[in-house]
């Protein structure tokens, strides 16, 4: 009879022992799968977070330099100040001579966008309000008849690069996003489109709002400018978006658009409307890094670019990932701890269990040796029996692991919920990082094909070593010594 056949019959002949061994190996396989998956998932989650919120730089105006330039103008005799009513108010507000004075310069942004290591860049214009002409806006929960029927317009170079687009906070239901070469193009909310029966290809008309701040108007008149007559501009709807997470796009001081659904995304050309021609206000720029591993090198290249850096502040958004890294580190530590404990305890348990079971087969092994069976053949016979049980246990493990993984995810997620406070603090400080905090509470374990291969190899190796350590002490004895121990 062949070793393979006799091994199979031996497993069937002792169902209780085989069932216990099968159950132990199955538990070990499940725990090993979860441990490897947790470690792998933590790495993938950290890499995804780096790509989403860490692999870019943000360019903003240097406020110290801004006030230095303002003071220099005042010293030159320019009267740029006005006092908000009532006249007794101690608060003095200074009005710059134009938007370009407090704007990022588009030429400088383009220079930085061409730096080696920058995959793409985006520009965000200051939000502005315009009156709705011949269409209705979404009034929200508390409509007021005294409101100006205004909508909020946000201009971008490439809307698809924004974090709230990439993380799925808003998604397209029709059409496309605003692109760099677009002129007078619009992406509107699904609610606004339904309310006005608008579709991709339709046009919308907007009108500039009057200057209601008389003190500001007086400053402009002293500078030689008068209030511009109402100006209208027409834009083509090229996309319709759905707000999936109730992002309050209009939450800025002075915004009167009433509802986030009244936010209309436009190209950068729209930023010139409502101000003097060719005087837009670009207040943020984003530079995406192609390779996160070269983040520091790209920073050095940006800072060496030939622009007036006194005017700007370069913000390193990689710091946000460092704030979140404890959550990913804890998830990895949990996975590695679970994997280490599983391997060590499994080795001990299997070795002891196999040793105990072999004591009941000492007489059988002694007979085999007496009949002239070689020691390697006996070892391979018993190893084949245990490997057969291991293969069956692995098959069961791979079949049921999708059902078990949900419970493991809940356990791991509960361990890292506290770490998401770093995300909340970052958002409170004005750093929008999408849904990283929410996703951190819904980590999905990655059971990949590589994971299954690693588990398969690990379990077979563990079974082989445990079997060898259990059977060798008995097989190395002579038959007479084995029978003497039994008696």
Over the stretch 91-111, which tens digit does the pLDDT of each residue have?
A: 555 667 777 888 899 899 999
State the average pLDDT over residues 328-350: 72
What is residue 325's predicted lDDT score, i.e. its pLDDT? 54
State the average pLDDT over residues 284-292: 87
What is residue 236's predicted lDDT score, i.e. its pLDDT? 94
Query: Higher pLDDT residue, 131 or 89?
Result: 131
Residue 402, judged by CB atoms within 10 A of its CB (0-12, 13-18, 19+), counts as exposed
pTM for the model stands at: 0.55
**For the packed helices 15-49 and 3-13, what is the interaxial angle rounded to 10 degrees?**
100
Q: Kindly report, residue by residue over 374-401, the tens digit of the pLDDT.
A: 777 777 878 888 888 888 888 998 888 8
What is residue 101's predicted lDDT score, i.e. its pLDDT? 84
What is residue 330's predicted lDDT score, i.e. its pLDDT? 62
Task: Give the integer Cα–Cα distance in Å for 151 and 10.
Answer: 79
Query: Higher pLDDT residue, 290 or 143?
Result: 290
């Amino acid at each position: 009879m062949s070793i393979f056949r006799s091994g199979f019959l031996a497993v069937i002949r002792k169902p209780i022992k085989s069932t216990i061994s099968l159950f132990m190996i199955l538990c070990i396989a499940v725990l090993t799968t979860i441990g490897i998956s947790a470690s792998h998932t933590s790495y993938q989650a950290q890499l995804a977070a780096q790509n989403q919120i860490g692999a870019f730089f943000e360019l903003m105006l240097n406020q110290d330099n801004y006030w230095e330039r303002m003071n220099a103008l005042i010293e030159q005799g320019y009267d740029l100040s006005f006092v908000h009513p009532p006249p007794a108010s101690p608060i003095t507000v200074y009005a710059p001579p134009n938007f370009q004075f407090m704007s990022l310069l588009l030429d400088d942004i383009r220079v930085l966008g061409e730096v080696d290591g920058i995959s793409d860049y985006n520009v965000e214009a200051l939000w502005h309000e315009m009156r709705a002409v011949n269409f209705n806006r979404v009034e929200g929960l508390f409509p007021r008849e005294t409101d100006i029927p205004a909508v909020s317009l946000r201009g971008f170079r490439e809307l698809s690069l924004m974090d709230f687009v990439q993380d799925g906070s808003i998604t397209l239901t029709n059409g496309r996003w605003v692109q760099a070469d677009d002129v007078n193009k619009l992406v509107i909310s699904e609610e606004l489109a339904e309310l006005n029966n608008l579709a991709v290809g339709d046009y919308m008309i907007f009108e500039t709002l009057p200057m209601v701040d008389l003190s500001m108007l007086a400053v402009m008149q002293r500078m030689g400018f008068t209030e511009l007559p109402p100006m209208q501009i027409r834009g083509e709807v090229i996309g319709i978006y759905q707000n999936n997470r109730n992002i309050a796009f209009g939450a800025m001081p002075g915004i009167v658009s009433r509802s986030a659904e009244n936010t209309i995304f436009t190209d950068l050309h729209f930023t010139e409307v409502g101000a003097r021609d060719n005087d837009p206000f670009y207040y943020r720029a984003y530079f995406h890094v192609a390779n996160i591993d070269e983040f520091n090198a790209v920073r050095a290249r940006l800072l060496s670019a030939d622009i007036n850096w006194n005017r700007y502040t370069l913000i390193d958004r990689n710091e946000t990932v460092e704030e979140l890294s404890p959550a990913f580190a804890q998830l990895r530590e949990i996975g590695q701890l679970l994997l280490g404990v599983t391997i060590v305890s499994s080795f001990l348990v299997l070795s002891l269990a196999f040793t105990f079971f072999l004591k009941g087969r000492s007489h059988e092994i002694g007979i085999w040796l007496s009949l002239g069976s070689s020691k390697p053949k006996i070892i391979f016979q018993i190893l084949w029996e245990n490997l057969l049980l291991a293969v069956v246990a692995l098959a069961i493990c791979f079949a049921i692991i999708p059902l078990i993984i949900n419970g493991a995810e809940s356990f791991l997620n509960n361990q890292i919920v506290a770490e998401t406070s770093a995300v909340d603090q970052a958002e409170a400080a004005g750093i929008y990082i999408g849904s990283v905090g929410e996703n951190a509470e819904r980590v999905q374990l990655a059971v990949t094909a590589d994971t299954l291969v690693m588990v398969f190899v690990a379990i077979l190796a563990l079974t082989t070593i445990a079997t060898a350590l259990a059977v060798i002490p008995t097989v190395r004895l002579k038959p007479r010594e084995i029978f003497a121990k039994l008696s």
